[in-house]
């Protein structure tokens, strides 16, 4: 039987670069990473693909999944629901793959509680400063001004929770941040 994989949780405020870092990490075949595609009720952004970036579902479908216990964790983030599918994550871990969850702080806390003592690595990505975070969020050009405002307000509360994670990594130079996270994962994999 394969050795159970490592569950890796990556959080950080909206626009800090989680998705960018994750995609670069996924390119390293040696890490044997599987990205857990979440379910969400938010609208698809231009360029996103259903089943790749998220499983885009309506409220009714999401609530049904919650009722059936289909999520490992789930939460509401700035007016939309997000959840990690339990079955897929457990199946990949059982097969020995390492699974990356890119989720916000509420969901991460649920995982920390549920998976205490298990093979879990939690990493919080920090921005160099608030101005840079705003620049990245605005520069990405995917949200309306009022959504950007709501996400920035949320960011302050999220940053206060960075200390609850195993490691905090500043995403200033992208290459260095990816390398730092890659080293943390490698060290845990032994
Ligand atoms: P998140 O997934 O955390 O919301 P993204 O990965 O979408 O953030 O990144 C937000 C924006 O910031 C994107 O336009 C991305 O290209 C850019 N970005 C990410 N990391 C860096 C970095 N280290 N330096 C400059 N820009 C970055
Ligand atoms: P976005 O709308 O920018 O894709 O994601 C908004 C926030 O929700 C980000 O912090 C992202 O990491 C988080 N997120 C994405 N999927 C999940 C999930 O399944 N569960 C939780 N708790 N957060 C998620």
Radius of gyration from C-alpha coordinates of the chain = 16
Q: What is the pLDDT along the chain (190 residues), one digit of tens a residue?
A: 679 999 999 999 999 999 999 999 999 999 999 999 999 999 999 999 999 999 999 999 999 999 999 999 999 999 999 999 999 999 999 999 999 999 999 999 999 999 887 899 999 999 999 999 999 999 998 889 999 999 999 999 999 999 999 999 999 999 999 999 999 999 999 8
CA of residue 11 to ligand 1 center, whole Å: 13
pTM of the full structure: 0.97
Pocket of ligand 2 (CB under 6 A): 14, 18, 38, 42, 73, 75, 77, 82-84, 102-104, 106-107
DSSP 91-107: HHHHTT-EEEEE--HHH
Contacts of 19 (CB under 8 A, 6+ apart): 102
């Amino acid at each position: 039987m394969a050795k159970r994989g490592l569950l890796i949780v990556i959080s950080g405020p909206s626009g800090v670069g989680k998705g960018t870092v994750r995609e670069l990490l996924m390119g390293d075949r040696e890490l044997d990473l599987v990205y857990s595609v979440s379910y969400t009720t938010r609208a698809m952004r231009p360029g996103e693909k259903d089943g790749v970036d998220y499983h885009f579902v309506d409220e009714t479908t999401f609530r049904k999944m919650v009722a059936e216990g289909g999520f490992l964790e789930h939460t509401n983030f700035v007016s939309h629901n997000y959840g990690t599918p339990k079955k897929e994550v457990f199946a990949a871990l059982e097969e020995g793959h390492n699974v990356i969850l890119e989720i916000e702080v509420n969901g991460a806390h649920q995982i920390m509680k549920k998976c205490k003592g298990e093979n879990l690595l939690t990493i919080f990505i920090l921005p160099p400063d608030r101005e840079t975070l705003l620049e990245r969020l605005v520069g990405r050009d995917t949200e309306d001004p009022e959504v950007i405002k709501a996400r920035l307000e949320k960011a302050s509360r999220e940053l206060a929770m960075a200390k609850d994670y195993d490691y905090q990594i500043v995403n200033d130079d992208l290459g260095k941040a990816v390398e730092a996270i890659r080293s943390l994962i490698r060290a845990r994999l032994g």
